[in-house]
Amino acid sequence: MSHVASQLAILTSLAIWLAVQCSGNMDIVGRRVTALPGFDSEEDGRDPGMHTFTHTHMRKAFRLMNDLRSRRMLCDVLLVAGEVEIPAHKVVLASCSPYFCAMFTGEMSESKAPRVEIRDMDGQTLTKLVDYIYTAQIEVSEDNVQVLLPAASLLQLMDVRQVCCEFLQAQLHPTNCLGIRAFADLHACTDLLNHAHAYAEQHFSEVMQGEEFMSLSLQQVCSLISSDKLTVSTEEKVFEAMIAWIKHDKEARLEYMPKLMEHVRLPLLSRDYLVQIVEEEALIKNNNTCKDFLIEAMKYHLLPADQRHLIKTDRTRPRTPVSLPKVMIVVGGQAPKAIRSVECYDFQEDRWYQVADLPSRRCRAGVVFMAGKVYAVGGFNGSLRVRTVDVYDGVRDHWSAVPSMQERRSTLGAAVLGDLLYAVGGFDGSTGLSSVEAYNPKTNEWVFVAPMNTRRSSVGVGVVDGKLYAVGGYDGASRQCLSTVEEYNPVSNKWGYVADMSTRRSGAGVGVLDGQLYAAGGHDGPLVRKSVEVYDPATNTWRQVCDMNMCRRNAGVCAINGLLYVIGGDDGSCNLSSVEYYNPAMDKWSLIPTNMSNGRSYAGVSVIDKPL
Ligand SMILES: *[C@@H]1O[C@H](CO)[C@@H](O)[C@H](O)[C@H]1NC(C)=O
Ligand SMILES: *[C@@H]1O[C@H](CO)[C@@H](O)[C@H](O)[C@H]1NC(C)=O
Ligand SMILES: *[C@@H]1O[C@H](CO)[C@@H](O)[C@H](O)[C@H]1NC(C)=O
Ligand SMILES: *[C@@H]1O[C@H](CO)[C@@H](O)[C@H](O)[C@H]1NC(C)=O
What are 554-588's pLDDT values in tens digits?
A: 999 999 988 999 999 999 999 999 999 999 988 99
pLDDT reported for residue 211: 95
| DSSP states along 516-540 | EEEEE--EETTEE---EEEEETTTT
Distance CA 302, CA 342 (A): 50
- Ligand of minimum distance to the alpha carbon of 340: 3
Is residue 195's pLDDT more than 90? yes
pLDDT reported for residue 372: 85
- pLDDT band of 54, cuts 50, 70, 90: low
CATH architecture of 3-137: 2-Layer Sandwich (3.30)
Element (H, E) at 3: helix 2-22
pLDDT reported for residue 44: 46
The answer to whether 594 touches 582, Cβ cutoff 8 Å, is no
- Ligand of minimum distance to the alpha carbon of 289: 1
- pLDDT band of 612, cuts 50, 70, 90: low
The answer to whether 335 touches 377, Cβ cutoff 8 Å, is no
Tell me: the pLDDT tens digits for 298-356? 999 898 877 777 788 889 888 887 777 889 999 999 988 999 999 999 998 899 999 99
* Beta strand residue intervals within 90-145, DSSP E: 115-117
Q: Where are the domains of the chain?
A: 3-137, 203-316, 326-609
- Ligand of minimum distance to the alpha carbon of 578: 4
- pLDDT band of 458, cuts 50, 70, 90: very high
Q: Which residue has the higher pLDDT, 436 or 300?
A: 436
The atom number, within ligand 4, closest to the CA of 550 reads 5
107: Cβ contacts below 8 Å, ≥ 6 apart: none
Is residue 166's pLDDT more than 80? yes
Element (H, E) at 370: strand 366-370
Q: What is the 257 CA–ligand 1 centroid distance (Å)?
A: 9
Tell me: the pLDDT tens digits for 460-476? 999 998 999 999 999 98
Q: Given CA atoms 225, 227, 228, 233 in this order, what sign does their dihedral have? A: negative
Tell me: the pLDDT tens digits for 115-164? 999 998 999 999 999 999 999 999 999 999 999 999 999 999 999 999 99
Cis status, amide bond into 98, omega within 30 of 0: no
Cβ(289) to ligand 1 under 6 A? yes
The whole-number average pLDDT for the span 31-46 is 36
Cβ(287) to ligand 1 under 6 A? yes
pLDDT reported for residue 23: 34
Q: What is the 187 CA–ligand 2 centroid distance (Å)?
A: 56
The answer to whether 241 touches 225, Cβ cutoff 8 Å, is yes
Cis status, amide bond into 537, omega within 30 of 0: no
Percent with pLDDT over 90 in the chain: 74
The whole-number average pLDDT for the span 271-284 is 84
The atom number, within ligand 2, closest to the CA of 574 reads 13
Q: What number of CA atoms fall less than 13 Å from residue 268's CA on the CB side?
A: 20
- On average, the pLDDT of the chain sits at 89
Q: Does domain 326-609 have CATH number 2.120.10.80?
A: yes
Distance CA 139, CA 144 (A): 9
Is residue 35's pLDDT more than 80? no
The atom number, within ligand 4, closest to the CA of 595 reads 1
The whole-number average pLDDT for the span 192-200 is 95
Q: What is the 339 CA–ligand 3 centroid distance (Å)?
A: 13
Tell me: the pLDDT tens digits for 6-20? 333 333 333 333 333
pLDDT reported for residue 20: 34
Listed residue (416, 406, 404, 457) closest to 602, CA to CA:
457
Q: Give the pocket of ligand 2 (CB within 6 Å).
A: 334, 336, 570, 574-575, 601-602
Q: Taking the complete model, does pTM exceed 0.75, yes or no?
A: no
What's phi and psi for 474, nearest 5 deg? Answer: -130, 130
Cβ(381) to ligand 3 under 6 A? yes
Tell me: the pLDDT tens digits for 216-264? 999 999 999 999 999 887 899 999 999 999 999 999 999 999 999 999 9
The whole-number average pLDDT for the span 383-401 is 95
The answer to whether 156 touches 99, Cβ cutoff 8 Å, is yes
Q: Given CA atoms 137, 142, 144, 148 in this order, what sign does their dihedral have? A: positive
CA angle 14, 17, 19 (to 5 degrees): 110
Closest protein CA for atom 14 of ligand 1: 287
pLDDT reported for residue 218: 96
Q: What is the 249 CA–ligand 1 centroid distance (Å)?
A: 17
| DSSP states along 39-94 | TT-----S-HHHHHHHHHHHHHHHHHHHHHHHTT-S--EEEEETTEEEEE-HHHHH
* Beta strand residue intervals within 445-587, DSSP E: 445-449, 460-464, 467-471, 474-475, 480-481, 485-489, 494-498, 509-513, 516-520, 523-524, 527-528, 532-536, 541-545, 556-560, 563-567, 579-583
What's the CATH code, domain 203-316?
Answer: 1.25.40.420
112: Cβ contacts below 8 Å, ≥ 6 apart: none
The atom number, within ligand 1, closest to the CA of 290 reads 1
pLDDT reported for residue 16: 34
The whole-number average pLDDT for the span 45-73 is 78
Q: What is the 214 CA–ligand 1 centroid distance (Å)?
A: 22
Cβ(258) to ligand 1 under 6 A? yes
